[in-house]
Structure 1
């Protein structure tokens, strides 16, 4: 689905797998999450896709590389150098499998440039949280691919939504609302009001990014209750043997993951160039998943669904 700007949206920069095509660039996915931009798997040509998608280097706060196959990382040199060329003022943090430190170093300094921007490397050592911030918690889990590969998910903590009618009924307004939210209770007209009386639970949102893997426990753990799941579907079910051999998923398997994990919006991507009919990926996934299925296209914007 193509939409306008959203505070939380996925900007698809590329959707090809091993080789780009006339219509699909190598991988690249920018997640806009309120004021934070997370760039996943910048493949070759990402800088140009930035231009076409209306994305700036200033939009990037974190770079998350799943693994060091070229279609997932050959855009790193251009993006890193662009951070300095555009004098991005904020620090940018790079996450990638710790086993690939040498590869990231080569990519980071693949050519001569004047390094101005601050790029911090925080390699992923194992399963679990890799960063926390205003966006919530960024987690990683090791997947089952031919080389060391990690998937990522963003988890926003659960909170509470204040109910204006109940607040008004009790005469709570202005700064008192903030005090009640922070303290959990407030004295109002001689009685104690607990935050639960004037609010309701607000489940945190979740985003998951799963590329280049066979089915494994980590895939399901990452996708669990995701509002938006970006997942590879390199092959169709008719080529399931090839998918298993090369460490990939089929569209049917991606649909199964979404169905079993309670995913709300499923985004299929990383398509083999052998297929010329994108609708087949949609139909195959939709046969096992009853929710919304999006077959990613370059430059597509996919909003994170509204809160439950």
Structure 2
């Protein structure tokens, strides 16, 4: 039995509808289908599901009230289509909310109830307490929203300071990563300590790599060159670390910079320390740095330069 957790549009619809042999092979391979977040599927994805699900062994999981990606092609009408195309379905409704307070559950139900296109007879309930009242604040942009939230945290922290409350008593919830970036920047500027659940934006490996490449193009400190080598040298982290450590030793022993030492090490045709493959990898990293520095000298536009840097990261990450 095969389980599919996502129906992808990469399988071309005409291939299944026109080629009977391919179609039968898919049906025999994927004997059971499971589609999660069904409210996010598009019309094309539903048609693909309908074809692959001719055996009627399908489970879809979703909630039409959570369909918020129509701008990206999602169609909540797929629920109704599914009911018509598979009339023998067994529908299981999970309407007990264990997470939110009763105030939030009731407010959400009252708001969503105005949607006439939603599934009928939905009654979400909870055994939780009523909780605090909901407050609504309209902000003109992300920066204004950020200032409002941080001001509110500071004000409340001052009010309860007698109880030895710390900033750790507060949490900021956001949906988009770009929003988290704005909050992190603002919190740093206002000297408010914080922790990020997950990896902070500027601590992400890809972001640190891009920033290091930008500094390397501008003749930055040795630490940025070493980071570029660690990130772009190859997929083996242990190998990349050993290479960087060796080049760093050469640089310190010769009292030269990391970039100059790396050129000395990797431009050699034969090395008693590295294999030909490793020398080739080192030369490729040096070529990337040279390319970026040449772009800076040509005074290309900032957007062009940053785009080049971003495009180079996945290109060399597979070495």
Common fold, TM-score beyond 0.5? no
More helix by share: 2
Task: Calculate the TM-score normalised by the size of structure 1.
Answer: 0.25
TM-score with structure 2 setting the length: 0.25
Larger Cα-atom Rg: 2
Structure that is richer in strand per residue: 1
